[in-house]
């Protein structure tokens, strides 16, 4: 991966960044990093927003544009949208629901094969993140500031399909809850379809009936 691609990847996975922060990761000077960003800006891939700093001096945050996000495309988005439209036209909305149900069953089976229900919760979340990452979601498990766990997905390879059929997103959340087990609570706290730059799920352990106090 060259420096230009690495720069875009960092903005995709970490969100808006200063040139100094990017330079520290890329092991470049701030000036060299700004040259990378300005070259990407000339191509319409990034833009910056100046925000107030702590001492009054504005802080320049660089972020991907819509064109920049498109460098990480949905898998076969046009074909997927066409197929959904054809199924809906020929067989109705019920057929779409059956298709999503079938995908849900297959996904859950694959995740259950990879996630040990007896493992500690951090290991379960890490295993699920690994599966999702392999599917193109650029997923990772993180520790939340409040002691919770986060399943973070920096990319959505089915975003185009989810925009025209949001039951895909509902289905995925239901699968996560079942795979991670009844001793967990899973909630979506960031959602790309709601305008966030990524999807993120907060996961916390919950006590079950019969557990020791």
Which long-range contacts link 124-133 to residues 24+ away (Cβ below 8 Å)?
Answer: 124/179, 124/180, 124/181, 124/184, 125/149, 125/151, 125/180, 125/203, 128/176, 128/179, 128/180
What's this model's pTM, rounded to 2 decimal places? 0.70
The CATH fold assigned to 3-69 is Arc Repressor Mutant, subunit A (1.10.10)
Question: 3-class DSSP state for residue 201?
Answer: strand
Boundaries of every domain in the chain: 3-69, 77-205
> Does pLDDT of 99 surpass 90?
no
Digit-coded pLDDT (tens) for 116-159: 999 999 999 999 999 998 888 889 999 988 889 999 999 887 77
Q: Give the architecture (CATH level 2) of 77-205.
A: 2-Layer Sandwich (3.30)
Cα separation of 179 and 113, whole Å?
10
What pLDDT does 170 receive?
86
**Residue among 163, 199, 153, 172 at smallest CA distance from 100:** 172
């Amino acid at each position: 991966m060259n420096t230009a691609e690495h720069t875009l990847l960092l903005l995709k996975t970490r969100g808006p960044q200063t040139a100094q922060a990017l330079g520290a990761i890329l092991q470049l000077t701030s000036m060299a990093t700004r040259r990378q960003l300005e070259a990407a800006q000339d191509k319409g891939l990034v833009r910056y927003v100046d925000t107030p700093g702590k001492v009054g001096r504005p802080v320049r945050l660089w972020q991907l544009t819509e064109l920049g996000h498109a460098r990480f495309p949905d898998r076969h988005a046009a074909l997927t949208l066409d197929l959904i439209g054809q199924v809906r036209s020929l067989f109705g909305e019920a057929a779409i629901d059956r298709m999503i149900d079938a995908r849900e069953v297959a996904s859950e089976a694959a995740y259950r094969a990879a996630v040990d229900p007896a493992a500690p919760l951090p290991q379960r979340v890490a295993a699920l993140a690994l599966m999702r990452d392999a599917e193109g979601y650029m997923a990772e498990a993180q520790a939340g500031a409040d002691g919770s766990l986060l399943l973070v997905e920096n990319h959505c390879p089915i975003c185009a399909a989810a925009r025209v059929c949001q039951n895909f997103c509902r289905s995925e959340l239901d699968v996560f809850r079942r795979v991670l087990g009844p001793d967990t609570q899973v909630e979506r706290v960031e959602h790309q379809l709601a305008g966030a730059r990524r999807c993120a799920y907060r996961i916390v352990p919950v006590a079950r009936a019969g557990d020791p106090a």
